[in-house]
Amino acid sequence: MENLNVTASAIISFTEKLEDSSSAFYEELAGRWVERKETFLAYAKESKKNKTQVVRTYQETITDALEACFSFEGLDLRDYEVETALAKDASYAEALGVAIELEERACAFYLDVAERSESLLATIPRAFKRVAKKRGKRKVELQSLCDKAAAGS
């Protein structure tokens, strides 16, 4: 049986990777679809902030977390990975599709890790939930952009 007892450090490494790749992805979208440049650049900037906030929360609470038996049980981080590399000729709708999937998985990741840390330390689930909320909001906005694009075509 696979050992799904994930260390806090592994969760943080994954968060850093997720927010870095999200940031790079939205910067690329901003470059390709200039009419939505501001929205995508705002997402990229927000991802950098998310990373800072989560890492800071972790660094400030890791001792208490370890001493209060903190661990992330039953997570398979592969479930939250999304391939964000876009084909050169990807359409706007395809790009939005990838973005929506990215936000869905990111939101699920943050909610799952928040749930697993819920009973112990308030600051950790709070940080994850805050980011989950932002990623959930993005998904709604992206869905709306997708709908508009579909209506316009």
Partner 1 sequence: MAVLEEPIKEVLDIKNYIDGEWVESAGEVKDVVNPATGKVIGKVPISTKDEIDATVAAAKEAFPDWRRTPPLARARCLFRLKELMEENFEELSRVQTMEHGKTIDESRGETRRGIEMVEVATGIPSLMMGYNLEDIVTGIDEYLIRQPLGVFGIIGPFNFPFMVPLWFAPFAVATGNCIVVKPSSEDPISQVKIAELTEEAGIPPGVWNVVHGGRTVVSGMLNHPDIEGICFVGSTPVGRDVIYKGCGDTGKRVIVMCGAKNFALVMPDADLNRAIAACMTSFYGNTGQRCLANANLIVVGEGLSKEEHDAFYDKVVDAFVTAASRIRMGYGLDDTVHMGPLRDAGKKEKVLRYIEKGIEEGARLRLDGRKVELVGDLPDTCFVGPTVFEDVTLDMAIAREEIFGPVANMMKASSLDEAIEMIHRIPFGNAASIFTASGKWAREFQYRVECGNIGINIGIAAPMAFFPFSGMKDSFFGTLHGQGQEAIRFFTESKVVIQRWF
Cβ proximity to partner 1, 74 vs 152, nearer residue:
74
Q: Which two tokens stand for residue 145?
A: 């952009």
59 belongs to the binding site for partner 1 (CB under 8 A): yes
Our finding on whether 67 is near partner 1 (CB under 8 A) is yes
Shortest Å distance, C-beta 58 to partner 1: 8
- To partner 1, the closest distance from the beta carbon of 54 in angstroms equals 14
Does 38 interact with partner 1 (rule: CB under 8 A)?
A: no
13 binds partner 1 (CB under 8 A): yes
- Tell the smallest beta-carbon distance from residue 81 to partner 1 (Å): 13
Q: Which range, of 2-10, 29-37, 107-115, 141-149, touches partner 1 by CB under 8 A?
A: 2-10
Mind giving me the DSSP string for 67-95?
Answer: HTT--EET--GGGG----PPPTT--HHHH
Residue 106 burial (10 A CB sphere; 0-12, 13-18, 19+): buried
Q: Is 80 within 8 Å of 147 (Cβ atoms)?
A: no
Handedness of CA 64, 66, 68, 71 (dihedral sign): positive
- Contact status: 66 vs partner 1 (CB under 8 A): yes
Q: Does 3 bind partner 1 (CB under 8 A)?
A: yes
**63 in contact with partner 1 (CB under 8 A):** yes
User: Does the footprint of partner 1 cover residue 123 (CB under 8 A)?
Assistant: no
| Closest to 145 measured CA to CA, from 3, 37, 9 | 37
Q: Contact between 53 and partner 1 (CB under 8 A)?
A: no
Which residue is associated with the tokens 């749930």? 115
Question: C-beta of 96: minimal distance to partner 1 in Å?
Answer: 31
- Structural contact between residues 131 and 54, judged by C-beta atoms closer than 8 angstroms: yes
